[in-house]
Chains A and B, each alone.
Chain A
């Protein structure tokens, strides 16, 4: 099995999707000859031509508006927003149009073919405008699906699933891991299910839930916890909308403790949704309050990134606090 980094896995998924179906199109800012600022679309224009893989002007609302129209027409657009920080000019097209196309027309029209790819998250010294994790804005919008892979294998399988999914999907790519995360990825076509969490590690003392780049951070915290004799159950949510509440609840029934972590700010973050849903189901099984380890309620800083970050030590501290409650 070949080894790929996450960008190569994403590129490979796009290549497979475009080879399989003429209706799949990739476009966005600099995605053409240049292959995208991160090179996720390398060689696709060469292979599939300028009509199917092309640069757009710098206009996010135009990219998504155009993509909505294409998807309504029956094409399968994979639109790239160069940084998730810049998805907001397209917010109206995503939230009011993409998400509601099928519902408002009584299924006369839909944009199910649409996938929006966008790199998110901190850890690259990107400061406040190249580090945001805006997933919670979109999880509040019925009609969208929100998916975040944690490594190359997941990225390929989930992206192929997203492209073929009958609903529009926003695919947040953890850019800190684009080159840092390397692993074995099958060359052939495969899909991973959207809407299902994955239990990465079984454990009896506490449940840790995260997604995307935080899974690596959770991994480091788990090492510290295990050294301290705490058995952690680790769940990668993979898909935030819809999210797999059953898998998380079943785990918390067993462990009685839950830590949720994300890079986005605390207030209104998706951890709040998870905490609410789990206390509804698991109230009598909880041994300690559900803990959230997240970014601060500030914009993402530049120089003090390390201090801001929900790192392994903060997660380990939350684990200890929960276990010793």
Chain B
């Protein structure tokens, strides 16, 4: 029942200002009024290891992209606490539907460097069979939905997936990651409205990292970030310091309780900063200052967690050096292996379009094979797949 008023009083929403939940200060100490979440030593170390491994993977692969070994790359840099802190608060069997720069979630759940590399190089062992650009990972085993390039499409899908989980009654939820840029898409509104009306156990996790490619937040939305939008859907919402892994962990842990126990969706807005470029095709120096980046470098989420761990006596300088060294070596070794693996089989051109290959696709494939046999030199991967080695290629070429 709405309240009547007899004066034309407009509201702008400015009356709602959502505070940011923080636990850990920049020196790695707990804020005086805050309470450290119940995070056991091993789990804390696992989170930190995933953050470090993600950072190192990103640095190495970005370098590899610059060397021309990789066509494309996207870094999680600066957002590791948001992504990995949230993932750590979930049950391992909860579904994650990510946007594209959340490799930290996979890292936390145990996706191996080999698995990362196979996708990045689109080789024969890539689960996606070399069909998508690099960083479009997926893992059924780790409950991580394969990434798709179109922005925000995963958000209503997460609502649907979670609705199915609710009906299945197994006590699981879905967490979907997206950037504040994606929250401008219609899919975002569609998803929050559907989830709210149908009481769906889904966590909408917005990484507000300040930029949608080159467009700063100030040109993306006029209101106080993304969080207040939850009010319009009568949805639980919390804003959290996205560079504070303990705050992200605790906020997501509580959000999961609301989602799974009460079957209610929750919106989390993590205030963070995309320290790296949007992708390897982007150059942030064209639209933001070094000074701005430097300010955020001081808020590095990995450094902050490391300080906290060291204060707990759960981590040491020596472990840091050793771990970094071994991670770098492992990344390089697996990259070399992955680069050498052959491309996916030729028939992956036509499989998985449908559950079964249709007659029309089979005809097109047969025509392609016949064509490759005529011009094997022009299609080296296809020729190799058809068993036409160098000599034969030459011979066939002459025919």
Question: Which residues on A are within 8 Å of B, measured CB to CB?
Answer: 25, 51-52, 54, 56-57, 59, 61-75, 77, 89, 92-93, 96-97, 100-110, 112, 142-143, 145, 166-167, 195, 242, 245-246
1/0 contact string of B184-223 vs chain A (CB within 8 Å): 0011011101100110000000000000000000000000
Q: In the assembled complex, which residues on chain A have CB atoms less than 8 Å from the CB atom of B191?
A: 62, 65-66
B399 to chain A, nearest CB (A): 26
Q: Find out whether the CB atom of B197 lies under 8 angstroms from the CB atom of A102.
A: no
A295 to chain B, nearest CB (A): 26
Q: Find out whether the CB atom of B164 lies under 8 angstroms from the CB atom of A105.
A: no
Cβ of B163 within 8 Å of any chain A Cβ, yes or no, is yes
Partner of A89, one of B186, B351, B359: B186
1/0 contact string of B289-328 vs chain A (CB within 8 Å): 0000000000000000000000000000000000000000
Q: In the assembled complex, which residues on chain A have CB atoms less than 8 Å from the CB atom of B111?
A: none
1/0 contact string of B124-147 vs chain A (CB within 8 Å): 001111011000101110000110
> How far, in whole Å, are A246 and B197 apart by their CA atoms in the complex?
48
B253 to chain A, nearest CB (A): 23
Q: Find out whether the CB atom of B129 lies under 8 angstroms from the CB atom of A106.
A: yes
Q: Find out whether the CB atom of B160 lies under 8 angstroms from the CB atom of A106.
A: no
Question: Assuming A89-B186, A105-B138, is B156 touching A96 (CB within 8 A)?
Answer: no
Closest-by-CB residue of B relative to A70 is B160
Q: Find out whether the CB atom of B150 lies under 8 angstroms from the CB atom of A103.
A: no
Q: In the assembled complex, which residues on chain A have CB atoms less than 8 Å from the CB atom of B356?
A: 166
Q: In the assembled complex, which residues on chain B have CB atoms less than 8 Å from the CB atom of A143?
A: 353-354
Q: Find out whether the CB atom of A109 lies under 8 angstroms from the CB atom of B156.
A: no
A225 to chain B, nearest CB (A): 31
18 pairs across A/B with beta carbons < 8 Å? A57-B194, A57-B197, A61-B187, A62-B159, A62-B190, A62-B191, A62-B194, A69-B160, A69-B162, A73-B164, A73-B165, A75-B163, A101-B146, A102-B353, A102-B354, A104-B136, A106-B131, A106-B146
> How far, in whole Å, are A65 and B360 apart by their CA atoms in the complex?
29
Question: Assuming A65-B190, A73-B164, is B148 touching A106 (CB within 8 A)?
Answer: no
> How far, in whole Å, are A89 and B156 apart by their CA atoms in the complex?
13
B39 to chain A, nearest CB (A): 30
Q: Find out whether the CB atom of B355 lies under 8 angstroms from the CB atom of A66.
A: no
Q: Find out whether the CB atom of B157 lies under 8 angstroms from the CB atom of A65.
A: yes
Q: Find out whether the CB atom of B157 lies under 8 angstroms from the CB atom of A54.
A: no
What is the number of residues of chain B that contact chain A, defined by CB distance less than 8 Å? 50
Cβ of B71 within 8 Å of any chain A Cβ, yes or no, is no
Q: Find out whether the CB atom of A69 lies under 8 angstroms from the CB atom of B148.
A: no
> How far, in whole Å, are A61 and B193 apart by their CA atoms in the complex?
12
Q: In the assembled complex, which residues on chain B have CB atoms less than 8 Å from the CB atom of A61?
A: 156, 186-187, 190
Q: Find out whether the CB atom of A97 lies under 8 angstroms from the CB atom of B153.
A: yes
Q: In the assembled complex, which residues on chain B have CB atoms less than 8 Å from the CB atom of A54?
A: 198
Q: Find out whether the CB atom of A245 lies under 8 angstroms from the CB atom of B360.
A: yes
Question: Assuming A61-B186, A66-B159, A242-B359, is B138 touching A108 (CB within 8 A)?
Answer: yes
> How far, in whole Å, are A168 and B168 apart by their CA atoms in the complex?
22
> How far, in whole Å, are A97 and B155 apart by their CA atoms in the complex?
12
Q: Find out whether the CB atom of B358 lies under 8 angstroms from the CB atom of A62.
A: no
Q: In the assembled complex, which residues on chain A have CB atoms less than 8 Å from the CB atom of B150?
A: 92, 96-97
Cβ of B352 within 8 Å of any chain A Cβ, yes or no, is yes
A43 to chain B, nearest CB (A): 20
Question: Assuming A65-B159, A73-B161, is B190 touching A59 (CB within 8 A)?
Answer: yes
B105 to chain A, nearest CB (A): 16
Q: In the assembled complex, which residues on chain A have CB atoms less than 8 Å from the CB atom of B157?
A: 65-66, 68-69, 72, 97
Q: In the assembled complex, which residues on chain A have CB atoms less than 8 Å from the CB atom of B156?
A: 61-62, 64-66, 68-69, 93
Q: In the assembled complex, which residues on chain A have CB atoms less than 8 Å from the CB atom of B351?
A: 107
> How far, in whole Å, are A11 and B372 apart by their CA atoms in the complex?
50
Q: Find out whether the CB atom of A106 lies under 8 angstroms from the CB atom of B163.
A: no
> How far, in whole Å, are A103 and B351 apart by their CA atoms in the complex?
7
Cβ of B167 within 8 Å of any chain A Cβ, yes or no, is yes
Partner of B355, one of A51, A102, A108: A102
> How far, in whole Å, are A104 and B145 apart by their CA atoms in the complex?
11
B220 to chain A, nearest CB (A): 20
Q: Find out whether the CB atom of B358 lies under 8 angstroms from the CB atom of A106.
A: no
